[in-house]
Structure formats: structure tokens, C-alpha cells
Amino acid sequence: MAQVCVAFGQGTGEIRVSQEACMALYDRYSAMITEKVLVEWGDQAVQALERIRALGRMVAAETRLAGFTVVSAEQVTADAPTVEANSETILCGPPPPV
């Protein structure tokens, strides 16, 4: 999970990230870190973390476009499904069927 947080921060760059946004990121992705993910992490981490960096870039861009200076939890929650739907990685693949 620490690598997920670092990758997200790399994506957001100089934009500040609120504590609530960090918790939204944690709440969303900590549940996705399963034994299967941990077993495959050595081979799959680069792609999975790149998707998390992409999420960071997306929320940072949308935060700036909205005229804000801090990433919000709402922005993380709103943008994560878009990145996940296009990810197809072990950490954030397409959403599970309902």
C-alpha cells in the first residue's frame, strides 16, 4: 500500500493532497491488495503502479482545471473508476460484476 501512495503522489506532482483524499485512496485500494496480488506483485507492480500514477495525474489535472489547489477525496473517488476501467492490471482491473 505504501508503493500505491508513493505512485499516487508522483502522479499528483506539486498539487497538495488532502488527508481525506489519502484516506479515500487507502480505502479503495487496500481492499484490492489480496494474496494473489502480493504473489504476482514482483511481475505486475510496474504496470499496476503506473495506473495509480495515471490516477494521480488525472485528479491533479482536474483539480487545477476546477481552480482548486488541493486534491479532494471526492475527486479521487470520482476519477478512480475511469482509470480502473482502462487498467486491466492485478491491482485495479475492471470493476467486478454487480
- The three-state (H, E, C) secondary structure of 77-88, written as one string: HHHHHHHHHCCC
Q: Is residue 28 part of a domain?
A: yes
Q: Is residue 95 part of a domain?
A: no
Q: Is residue 10 part of a domain?
A: yes
Q: Is residue 97's pLDDT more than 60? A: no
Q: Are 5 and 27 in contact (CB under 8 A)?
A: no
Range of the domain at 18: 2-85
The domain total for the chain is 1
Mean pLDDT of 12-41: 93
Beta bridge partners of 70: 16
Who contacts 72 (Cβ-Cβ below 8 Å, separation ≥6)?
Answer: 18, 20, 21, 63
Q: Is residue 92 part of a domain?
A: no
Q: Is residue 44 part of a domain?
A: yes
Residue 13: name the closest of 62, 70, 57, 69 by CA.
Answer: 57
Q: Is residue 90 part of a domain?
A: no
Mean pLDDT of 24-53: 91
Q: Is residue 93 part of a domain?
A: no
